[in-house]
């Protein structure tokens, strides 16, 4: 009998899921992925095969709580898996704090530690933890593994994580954590397979999606990243500001008399590409728009990538390769070409044909610093962690 692994990536109003079959030889085969949307209103469920064929759909016409939605999902998966048996659930958890540098098998104690981290990620952590609690009720024997967005960056040293704040704030955990760690870990893993030479060197990975950040990875280890205490810092994003002088917050509080909630909405939901352009947070739309504010937003995004490239190269003392990933990084040849051309001083260059084709190496042979497009797969990374924790647990028994 083969084993099933469920991966859950739960957000505030939607939950994404994937199901993998863990083969005897350790290979993980995706069998379906989908999502439940509209949580809290009239939820919808859809599950698709890897080729996009719809395997299951459902719509509720009333409020259904998360535990009942998870119960529906588990029932559907049981039917879908047939003779295979669900052996574990892996969860994306945004914050593992200072404690976790690797995935954790969840028990009551671990859940307590993770709940204590809610103030550090109030918009995400509660939604990540809710399905873990529900699953423990619905399927008490099922091992659950928490995989953290911060864990990959625990190798960052003091200088890369500190703020110049009084010690009492540093001591209580006000520091840079970095996020998108599961994506960076996956890219480091894939790079070792497809480009072992550059993977052993100094690499900057640009995760450019609706959330965007960059990470300096030296010989497979995260050294520094652009996101900080929260996922607000660094690059401008679809609707988030990215790096912002803390004095602007004082101005909003003191001169504009804005409340904390209003400021939170402004920084997370009304800024970034959307705020600057006044048009959209969708990079495709902005790049094809003739509006001068859309052009400024795109130019600013590319300018900030260049600034961070220089900064991260400095943090590593060099640069051997740059990788583009996530929605914008994987799909916009135009943006990649501009980043590579505008940062030629770092030894970057673009091979236009390779860049248009997309995946793999997109720099010309002999470039001082190579450039790559590598699709990320955070769900597969969670499934791999889950498989490995199960294996280690079986070996210890």
Residues that bind ligand AMP (CB under 6 A): 209-210, 238, 282-284, 287, 326-328, 331-332
Nearer to ligand AMP by Cβ, of 202 and 338: the residue is 338
Angstrom distance (rounded) from CA 367 to CA 381: 30
243, two tokens:
């790096």
Nearer to ligand AMP by Cβ, of 90 and 329: the residue is 329
Cβ-closest position to ligand AMP: 327
* Min separation Cβ 19 and ligand AMP, Å: 20
Q: Quickly list H helices, 45-194.
A: 66-81, 108-115, 125-138, 158-161, 167-171, 181-194
* Min separation Cβ 161 and ligand AMP, Å: 25
* Min separation Cβ 335 and ligand AMP, Å: 6
Nearer to ligand AMP by Cβ, of 66 and 331: the residue is 331
Closest by CA position to 73, among listed 84, 62, 89, 50? 89
149 is catalytic: yes
Identify whether the C-beta of residue 93 lies closer than 8 Å to the C-beta of residue 105.
no
SS3 percent helix, strand, coil of the chain, rounded to 5, is 45, 20, 35
Q: Which run of H or E residues covers position 143? A: none
Nearer to ligand AMP by Cβ, of 93 and 326: the residue is 326
Nearer to ligand AMP by Cβ, of 11 and 310: the residue is 11
Kindly give, in sequence order, each residue whose CB lies less than 8 Å from that of residue 46, ignoring residues fewer than 6 positions away: 34, 35, 54, 56, 57
* Min separation Cβ 147 and ligand AMP, Å: 18
* Min separation Cβ 48 and ligand AMP, Å: 16
Identify whether the C-beta of residue 80 lies closer than 8 Å to the C-beta of residue 19.
yes
State CA 86 to chain mean position distance.
25
* Min separation Cβ 35 and ligand AMP, Å: 13
Set 149, 218, 233, 377: catalytic member: 149
Nearer to ligand AMP by Cβ, of 234 and 327: the residue is 327
Q: CA neighbours within 13 Å on the CB side: how many for 63?
A: 3
What b/e sequence results for 87-109 when a residue is b if at least 16 CB atoms lie within 10 Å of its CB, and e otherwise? bbbbbbbbbbbebbeebbebeee
E strand residue ranges, 209-362: 212-218, 221-225, 321-325, 360-361
Angstrom distance (rounded) from CA 272 to CA 330: 20
72, two tokens:
């529906």
The catalytic site residues sit at 149
């Amino acid at each position: 009998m083969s084993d099933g692994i469920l991966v859950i990536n739960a957000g505030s109003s939607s939950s994404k899921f994937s199901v993998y079959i863990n083969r005897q030889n350790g290979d993980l085969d995706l069998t379906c992925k989908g999502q439940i949307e509209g949580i809290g209103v009239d939820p919808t469920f859809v599950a698709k095969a890897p080729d996009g064929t719809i395997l299951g759909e459902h719509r509720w016409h009333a409020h259904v709580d998360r535990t009942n939605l998870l119960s529906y999902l588990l029932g559907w998966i049981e039917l879908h898996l047939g003779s295979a048996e669900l052996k574990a659930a892996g969860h994306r958890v945004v914050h593992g704090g200072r404690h976790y540098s690797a995935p954790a098998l969840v028990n009551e104690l671990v859940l307590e530690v993770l709940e204590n981290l809610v103030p550090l990620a109030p918009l995400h952590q509660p939604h990540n933890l809710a399905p873990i609690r529900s699953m423990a009720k619905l399927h008490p024997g099922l091992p659950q593994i928490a995989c953290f967005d911060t864990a990959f960056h625990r190798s960052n040293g003091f200088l890369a994580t500190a703020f110049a704040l009084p010690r009492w704030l540093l001591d209580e955990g006000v520091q840079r954590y970095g996020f998108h760690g599961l994506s960076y870990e996956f890219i480091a893993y894939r790079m070792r397979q497809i480009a072992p030479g550059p993977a052993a060197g100094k690499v900057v990975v640009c995760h450019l999606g609706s959330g965007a950040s960059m990470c300096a990875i030296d010989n497979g280890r995260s050294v520094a990243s652009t996101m900080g205490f929260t996922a607000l810092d660094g690059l401008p994003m679809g609707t988030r500001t990215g790096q912002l002088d803390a004095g602007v917050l004082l101005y909003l509080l003191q001169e504009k008399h804005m409340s904390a909630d209003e400021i939170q909405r402004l920084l997370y939901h009304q800024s970034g590409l959307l705020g600057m352009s006044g048009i959209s947070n969708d990079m495709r739309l902005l790049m094809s728009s003739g509006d001068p504010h859309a052009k400024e937003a795109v130019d600013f995004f590319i300018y900030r990538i260049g600034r961070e490239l220089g900064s991260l190269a400095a943090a590593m003392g060099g640069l051997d390769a740059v990788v583009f990933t996530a929605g914008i990084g994987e799909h916009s040849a135009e943006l990649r070409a501009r980043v590579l051309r505008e940062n030629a001083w770092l030894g970057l260059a673009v091979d236009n044909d390779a860049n248009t084709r997309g995946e793999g190496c997109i720099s010309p042979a002999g470039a001082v610093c190579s450039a790559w497009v590598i699709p990320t797969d955070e769900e597969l990374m969670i499934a791999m962690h889950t498989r490995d924790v199960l294996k280690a647990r079986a070996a210890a028994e």
